[in-house]
Structure 1
Amino acid sequence: MRSTPTILHLDMDAFFAAVEQASKPSLRGKPVVVGGLGPRGVVATASYEARVHGVHSAMAMAHARRLCPNAAYLVPRFGLYRKVSDTVMGLLGELSPLVEPLSLDEAFVDLDAGGVEEPPLLVAQRLRADIKAATGLTASVGLAASKLLAKIASERAKPDGVVLVEPGTERALLDPLPVRTLWGVGPATAEHLRRAGITTVAEVAHAGESELVRLLGKAHGASLYAMAAGLDDRPVVADREMKSVSVEDTFDVDLTDRARVRTEVARLADRCVQRLRGAGRSGRTVVIKVRRYDFSTLTRSETLRAPTDDPAVVRETAARLIEAVDTTGGVRLLGVGVAGLADFTQEDLFAQTAQEAEKAEQLLPAGEAAPEPVPEPVVARRWTPGQDVRHSEFGAGWVQGSGVGRVTVRFEEPGSVPGRVRTFAVEDPELSPAEPLPLVS
């Protein structure tokens, strides 16, 4: 443990929703929800204006609409989010060579490695100002002597603030917090501890290491006790390559109902995609993990034709995999993961298809012509809420909604005043998809 608060944790505030509000002036100060808009869609991020109504990430989109029917519901624009993230990570890289990104909007920084001589609090304040100037967005920062405490501090700083944890004050910060605050404590572990009368971090520390080992096992119990005592010597690791993304849950009572198993797998698949999208990645291989009543553990996987971050695809693939597993004796643990990670998603599939067609043509025997392509059926143009568009007369805008052969567009740009709304036929030749405009010119 170091003696100075030189580990910085940065977390952008409601990142996806904040980017949408910054690029769409009419949405500033209003509830915005970003995620899948289909019948099985899941919330990726909600603005603070939507959160006051109870909307949060990983919630079913249908539930969010009931809680906050007047919010703007938008599809994610991951290409733009990645560009903004690159700008933020570049500013972090100016502080230190040791930057550990956790997702598009979150990272640790080791200020000691950068030789920064200014007080950490001053560094954090200047960093937030630089991010605001470069992106128009706000960020929250935690400063502490360990990664655990820096992350907890940034949560307490939200939104748009800084919290510094001076060495020696760790107990005052940790003791009143719920056990779920500690890494590795999910719903099942929290419930197990609750039944033992342990609900706060102070009670975890008071229980003692031997009791926690008895309750949770050697590795988990010892780790949890160290965290509750504020002990965390994990270093900031730069350029950590993410090989897979996964989530899992252990159940206090073995699952024997097949319908419940399917439901849990679907829920885990959605959580996995949320984590995958948060890291700005996609993947080709879906994996399930099953630990049965007798502690035997098995995995099943299926590799897709192309990388995806579509929750429906991951959910359906995981459902197929679990159907091939015998769970009649009971299931102690379920997990869903995605491996074979890539930096692109379905938006790149058209280019990939063209490349595959070109390769296939090269493999044809000499003198043999490629078969004539089968003409594709004519499909009406599809416009999705939040999509960037450009009109030959009215300029840049974004889709507010579409239906019954019409599409409604609000014409405005980042930095402009709220724009006017106009409606067109979905096939209007003067309206076309467009690339997102930068948030700051």
Structure 2
Amino acid sequence: MLLKEGRHITHMDLDTFFVSVEHLRNPKLIGKPVLIGGMSDRGVVASCSYEARKFGIHSGMPMRAALRLCSHAVIVKSDYEAYSKYSRLVTDIIGDKVPMFEKASIDEFYLDLTGMDKFFGCMKFSEELKKSVAKESGLTISYGLASNKLISKVATNEVKPNGQIEIPFGYEKSYLAPLSIMKMPGIGKETGYKLLKMGVETVKRLSEIPMPMLFNLLGKNGIELHKKANGLDESPVIPFREQKSISTEQTFETDTIDIQFINRELVRMTESIAFELRSQNRLTGCIAVKLRYSDFQTEQKQQSIDYTASDTVLIQKVKELFAKLYTKRQLIRLVGVRFSDLIQGTHQISIFDDTQEAIKLHQAIDSVKKQFGENLLMSAAGYKGPTKSKTACK
């Protein structure tokens, strides 16, 4: 497969996003080792400043372990509402200036600038956008410009913080060659360990391994890694405006005003699509609840929320919306729940107040659902009991 000239993709990533927001809120934190996360030592580090990273601290690390490495670190209780607010602000800034972009997570974006090289210049445009983000939001952002998403992301990571770089077409493979394999997207700890045991330490060495051998070692992932090691990536930039919603509806066999029954259904439905959300590695920033009365009159309420995929948060918000929506006390024939404003991301960025035990529990539950079906496990609040179901899916 040959590299195809023509695409110009810029990857932009906000520098230590959560910490940077806290710097704006409290400038006294600048220059100090800062840990964002739960306040208890049983919590987990959601993000940390560059000063903290010098001590070997990283996101996902138990707070207790982080404090052993840096006892004088400042722990800041997270404010996900503020982080979501700034994420939307930067999204709006980019959306006003870029015709097509993908919001890959709460703090990173892919911009398809193909064609702009003939007019304004892709590097110049990216630089001006970087300045606009800093001026309008107060946040620093780094970027890499290349012919595909893979190279642009790797390049961005190499120049952070507050950096910028362009990898010209034709230099993709040579740029990756000297880098550690652990800097390659798609190589986690387990895969990295296997490769390192074989003496494969650099991307160059990885690119020299025949594809059949990598396939035998890593399966389909081996084929993808062979392509990536050679600088190949044809994955498209998915326009942010085309992100779809996830929803479900339930029509009751008998119209009802049984609030306890309806709340059980809402819990069950919310858990179902929240699991789907996490399975797609997505977060939602907007919830809508719909109800249809027995006379077929339909009403709906929606609310913007902090980006999340947590059952606990989503169920609470759905119940609150339903309580505000259901004011007529008439018989109900249908209820629905919809998640929209979807971005890529995992529960990892909303674990601020979770303990390690709670995180492992949620991960274990999702693992069981993926193996044996999502209906095998559910919360007691959504359980209807062994009797015949009162509802029928629409």
What TM-score, normalized to structure 2? 0.64
Pair 126,29 (structure 1): closer, same or farther in 2 beyond 3 Å: same
Q: Deviations over 1:99-147 (max 9, x none)?
A: 1112111110101277882222211211111111111121100000000
Contact 2:84 2:307 in 1 (8 A): no
Q: Identify the residue that residue 224 of structure 2 maps to in structure 1.
A: 223
Q: Identify the residue that residue 233 of structure 2 maps to in structure 1.
A: 232
Q: Identify the residue that residue 142 of structure 1 maps to in structure 2.
A: 144
Pair 318,164 (structure 1): closer, same or farther in 2 beyond 3 Å: closer
Tell me the amino acid that sits aligned with residue 224 of structure 2.
Answer: S
SS at match of 2:144: strand
Q: Identify the residue that residue 316 of structure 1 maps to in structure 2.
A: 361
Deviation at 1:317, TM superposition (A): 4.1
Equivalent positions of 1:20-419 (< 5 A) are 20-112=22-114, 117-217=119-219, 219-239=220-240, 241=243, 281-285=307-311, 309-310=350-351, 311-312=354-355, 313-318=358-363
Q: Any gaps of 5 or more consecutive residues in structure 1?
A: 245-271, 287-302, 326-332, 338-441
Tell me the amino acid that sits aligned with residue 85 of structure 1.
Answer: S
Q: What is the alpha-carbon distance in structure 1 between the residues aligned to residue 360 and residue 284 of structure 2?
A: 17
Tell me the amino acid that sits aligned with residue 117 of structure 1.
Answer: F
Deviation at 1:5, TM superposition (A): 6.2
Q: Which moved more, 1:38-47 or 1:14-23?
A: 38-47
Deviation at 1:305, TM superposition (A): 6.2
Tell me the amino acid that sits aligned with residue 125 of structure 1.
Answer: E
Q: What is the alpha-carbon distance in structure 1 between the residues aligned to residue 33 and residue 189 of structure 2?
A: 29
Contact 1:131 1:139 in 2 (8 A): yes
Over the aligned positions, Cα root-mean-square deviation in angstroms equals 3.3
Pair 144,316 (structure 1): closer, same or farther in 2 beyond 3 Å: same
Contact 1:2 1:146 in 2 (8 A): no
Tell me the amino acid that sits aligned with residue 6 of structure 1.
Answer: H
Q: Deviations over 1:39-60 (max 9, x none)?
A: 3211111111222222221111
Percent of aligned positions that are identical: 31
Pair 212,319 (structure 1): closer, same or farther in 2 beyond 3 Å: closer
Pair 314,191 (structure 1): closer, same or farther in 2 beyond 3 Å: closer
What TM-score, normalized to structure 1? 0.57
Contact 1:31 1:72 in 2 (8 A): yes
Q: What is the alpha-carbon distance in structure 2 between the residues aligned to residue 132 and residue 321 of structure 1?
A: 39
Contact 2:7 2:114 in 1 (8 A): no
Contact 2:11 2:145 in 1 (8 A): yes
Contact 2:7 2:112 in 1 (8 A): no
SS at match of 1:143: strand
Pair 227,172 (structure 1): closer, same or farther in 2 beyond 3 Å: same
Pair 72,242 (structure 1): closer, same or farther in 2 beyond 3 Å: farther
Q: What is the alpha-carbon distance in structure 2 between the residues aligned to residue 185 and residue 278 of structure 1?
A: 26
Tell me the amino acid that sits aligned with residue 206 of structure 1.
Answer: E
SS at match of 1:112: coil
SS at match of 1:281: strand
Q: What is the alpha-carbon distance in structure 2 between the residues aligned to residue 103 and residue 76 of structure 1?
A: 18
Q: What is the alpha-carbon distance in structure 2 between the residues aligned to residue 320 and residue 7 of structure 1?
A: 38
Q: Identify the residue that residue 300 of structure 2 maps to in structure 1.
A: none
Contact 1:40 1:60 in 2 (8 A): yes
Tell me the amino acid that sits aligned with residue 283 of structure 1.
Answer: A
Deviation at 1:17, TM superposition (A): 0.4
Deviation at 1:65, TM superposition (A): 1.5
Contact 1:5 1:164 in 2 (8 A): no
Q: Any gaps of 5 or more consecutive residues in structure 2?
A: 247-277, 286-305, 319-346, 375-394
Q: What is the alpha-carbon distance in structure 2 between the residues aligned to residue 233 and residue 135 of structure 1?
A: 32
Contact 2:283 2:309 in 1 (8 A): no
Q: What is the alpha-carbon distance in structure 2 between the residues aligned to residue 80 and residue 142 of structure 1?
A: 26
Q: What is the alpha-carbon distance in structure 2 between the residues aligned to residue 114 and residue 80 of structure 1?
A: 34
Pair 277,22 (structure 1): closer, same or farther in 2 beyond 3 Å: farther
Deviation at 1:285, TM superposition (A): 5.0
Contact 1:50 1:71 in 2 (8 A): yes
Deviation at 1:3, TM superposition (A): 2.2
Q: Deviations over 1:159-200 (max 9, x none)?
A: 101011001211221111122222221111112222333221
Deviation at 1:89, TM superposition (A): 1.2
SS at match of 2:131: helix
Pair 97,114 (structure 1): closer, same or farther in 2 beyond 3 Å: farther
Q: What is the alpha-carbon distance in structure 1 between the residues aligned to residue 39 and residue 124 of structure 2?
A: 42
Q: What is the alpha-carbon distance in structure 2 between the residues aligned to residue 230 and residue 315 of structure 1?
A: 35
Tell me the amino acid that sits aligned with residue 141 of structure 2.
Answer: A
Tell me the amino acid that sits aligned with residue 195 of structure 2.
Answer: L
Contact 2:16 2:47 in 1 (8 A): yes
2:21 to 19, 22, 27: 19
* Larger helix proportion of the pair: 2
Tell me the amino acid that sits aligned with residue 315 of structure 1.
Answer: K
Deviation at 1:209, TM superposition (A): 1.1
Contact 1:100 1:236 in 2 (8 A): yes
Tell me the amino acid that sits aligned with residue 59 of structure 1.
Answer: M
